[in-house]
Amino acid sequence: MKIRRYMANNMQEAINKVKIDLGTDAVILNTRKVKRPGLFSFLRAPLIEVLASVEEEENEVRTLADVANPKVEELENKVKNMEGMLDKIYQQMSEMQRNSSNNTNSNAKQEDTTSKIYKVFVDNMKQNDVEDTVIDEILKSLKEQGIDNNSNVNEVFAIFKKELINRLGVSEQIKVDNSKPKVIIFLGPTGVGKTTTLAKIAANFMIKEGKKVGLITADTYRIAAVEQLKTYSEIMGTPITVIYSPKEMKDAIKKNSDAELILIDTPGKSHRNKKHFDEIKEIYRAAEPDETYLLISATTKPKDCKDIINAYSFVDNYKLIFTKVDETSSLGVLLNVRELTGKPLSYVTTGQSVPDDIEIADVESISKKLLGNS
C-alpha cells in the first residue's frame, strides 16, 4: 500500500491533488487542519493536510473475507503472544497437576485441581470484563452438560472455547442481493464510528469486489459530518445523496436504484434525549432497510451497553458491529451484548484507517481471546 501526505489550501484542492497523484482508487486515511508557518499565519485560513493511500498492486483483489489485511504481521504477533500465554497457563496447570498427584491421589485433591483449572479460565474471562451473570450461565451450562469436572487443561480449554463459540453464534456479513439493491442502515451512539465504518464497508465492496454502492446520509446536523462522507464518496467516485428530512428518504433510495448496495449513514443522536432520538426512529422507519447494523464500541461500559440496547429495541432485527476493538484489551463487551440481545455478530473495526481497519467478527479468535489473559 502506497501512503502519501498532501498539503493544500482547501479540501477540494487536496482531493484534486490526491486524484491526480494516486488516481480514483485512492482512499483518504486522515484529514486535519494545519497552522500555516510564519508570523502572521493567524490571519490566514489554515492549510489542509490529507493523508491518502492506494493499493500498489493493480491486480490485487482482496475481499473482507480475506480478513488478513496488511496487518498480517501484527496479527501473527498477537497469535504468538496468545500461544505463549496459553503455554504459560499449561505449564502452571501441569505443575499443579504434578504436585497434587505427588502428594496424594485422593478425590479431594483431584477436585481441588479441577476447580483451580476452571478458576484460571473464569478469572481470565473476568479480566476480559465478561459479566458475572454471563460466567454463571456458562458454568451452569457446562454443569448441565456434565462436563464441569475435567482436570485436563487442554480439554477444559477446549470445553470453554466450544461453549463460547456456541454462545457467540454464527457471524453474518453483508451479502449483495443480485436481484435488487440492498438497503442497509447504520445506527449507533454518537461518535461510535458509524461514518468511518460505512466508508470502510463501501470501499471494500467497491474497490475490492467491484460492486456498485450508493451512499445516503441523513446526518446534516454538522457540516463536518456531510463533508466527511462527501470526501470518501468523491475519492471512491460514488455518489452521495444528502437528505434533510426523513420525508426525502424514499426518493433518495429510488435515486440510487441502480446500486447493488445502498448504505445509509445516520446522525449521532444521544438516546438520552428523547426528541433527538425520535428523529433517528423516523429516519429508520422511512428507510425500511433490508438490513440494520447497530454499532457499539468495544470500550463501552456494561451499564451503558444495556441502555444502548434498550434504546435501540425499536429495531426488530439487527446485526452487531463492534468498533474500536483496538482501543481495549478486553473483549467481554462482545459476549455480554451478544448474550443480552441474541443478535448476530458481523464485523469488528480495529482502527481509524479506511478501508483496512475492519474485519469479519471471527468467533473462534474472540473466544480464545476471552479465555486468555494477555
Ligand X SMILES: Nc1nc2c(ncn2[C@@H]2O[C@H](COP(=O)(O)OP(=O)(O)OP(=O)(O)O)[C@@H](O)[C@H]2O)c(=O)[nH]1
* 195 forms part of the interface with Mg ion (CB under 5 A): yes
- Go through the chain and tell me how many residues it has: 374
| Residue with the shortest CB distance to Mg ion | 195
| Residue 351, C-alpha cell as written in the block | 482502527
Interacting span for Mg ion (CB under 5 A) from 13-21, 101-109, 189-197, 253-261: 189-197
Nearest partner of 205 among 220, 226, 190, 184, judged by Cα: 184
367: left (phi over 0), alpha (psi -120 to 50) or beta: alpha
* 357 forms part of the interface with ligand X (CB under 6 A): yes
Nearer to ligand X, 4 or 271 (CB): 271
Dihedral, CA of residue 10, residue 11, residue 17 and residue 18, to nearest 10: 160
Task: Check if the beta carbon of residue 96 is closer than 8 Å to that of residue 116.
Answer: yes
* 352 forms part of the interface with ligand X (CB under 6 A): yes
Task: Give residues with Cβ within 8 angstroms of 296, minimum separation 6.
Answer: 188, 189, 192, 305, 308, 320, 321, 322, 323, 333, 337
* 326 forms part of the interface with ligand X (CB under 6 A): yes
Nearer to Mg ion, 120 or 264 (CB): 264
Interacting span for ligand X (CB under 6 A) from 20-28, 130-138, 184-192, 339-347: 184-192
Interacting span for ligand X (CB under 6 A) from 50-58, 95-103, 129-137, 192-200: 192-200
Binds ligand X by CB under 6 A, chosen from 233, 350, 367, 373: 350
**Cα–Cα distance, 5 to 28 (Å, whole number):** 10
* 53 forms part of the interface with Mg ion (CB under 5 A): no
* 163 forms part of the interface with ligand X (CB under 6 A): no
Residues 207-236 as x/- pattern, contact with ligand X by CB under 6 A: ------------x-----x-----------
Task: Give residues with Cβ within 8 angstroms of 348, minimum separation 6.
Answer: 298, 321, 322, 323, 325, 334, 358, 359, 360, 361
C-beta of 322: minimal distance to ligand X in Å? 9
Q: Provide the CA 26 distance to its chain's centre, in angstroms.
A: 22
* 190 forms part of the interface with ligand X (CB under 6 A): yes
Residues that bind Mg ion (CB under 5 A): 194-195
Residues that bind ligand X (CB under 6 A): 188, 190-196, 219, 225, 267-268, 323-324, 326-327, 349-352, 357
